[in-house]
Amino acid sequence: MPHHRGITSRAGGCVNLRNWQLQCLDPSQEEERAEASGEGIVQQPRSERVQQQGVDGFQRAKLAVFLSGGGSNFRALHAATLQNAIYGDVVVVVSDRPGCKGCEYAQEHKIPILSYPKNKHAQDGISASQLVDSLRHSGVDYILLAGYLKMLPTELVQVFPRAILNIHPALLPSFGGKGFYGMKVHEAVIRSGARYSGATVHFVDEEYDSGPILAQRVVPVLAYDSPLDLAARVLKQEHILYTEAVAALCEDRIFWREDGVPLIRKSWDEAEYL
């Protein structure tokens, strides 16, 4: 019988994949079990948010959305929060282009906007340290990149470990990295002759598109697709995939294998991983 790795949630729950049972152990119990089994599972502190009263033991997560353009994914995520498909609320939007359509949408819904970094489009842009302080002051739990084209400052990534997600319009690790954004991604996919593309949600680190992959959806690349055709097909899946991933994040249904690969538990009622 194959040996399955143990995994931990960001909130500290441990899942033993050999018998598909959720085990929530205190740190001393978890250390003893890990030593005995040799699985090397590390117990992480359970988030304060999970311990507070709310639906099924959760209170609504506070979300920050970073964007640079039209905000299609932002709109889809915001709609999902209003419908409780995502158990959280967008409390702030951050943009390097405060005049973009996504920021207009935020203004219409009375969501505060921060400009970062300072540039010709954002003369009142704040510094990296001010950005970190502002997000902390707002009580932000998670950061969601939705078409944000700037590199995040290292200090921000370090303050929010395993708490920043990005959506990319291709199947990473292919067609990712610096310079691969927007229509350029779909043009490259078609030029390559790839028969499939899709969307990827991944955790963010200090590099472009290189963080751990959380979830993907696949679409076909048809024989006579234009970049616009492919972009439209992928975007439909982006809206679905990102909503599912953020919902899992807000409900602490993301678990980490000991090799650093994140998995989504389908629901707290089903011991199935996506």
Question: Annotated catalytic sites, by residue?
Answer: 168
How far is residue 218 from each of residues 18, 147, 166, 171, 230, measured CA to CA in Å? 29, 19, 17, 8, 12
Question: Tokens 């993301």 belong to which residue?
Answer: 254
> Residue 227: is the preceding peptide bond cis (ω within 30°)?
no
Strand partners, 223: none
Phi, psi of 227 (to 5 degrees): -55, -35
At residue 163's C-alpha, the angle toward residues 81 and 136, to 5°, is 85
Strand partners, 8: 14, 256
Which residues are within 8 A (CB) of 120 and not within 5 positions of it... i.e. 6 or more apart?
Answer: none
Closest CA to 67 of 35, 102, 36: 102
Which residues are within 8 A (CB) of 102 and not within 5 positions of it... i.e. 6 or more apart?
Answer: 67, 68, 69, 70, 71, 74, 75, 93, 95, 146, 147
DSSP code of 147? S
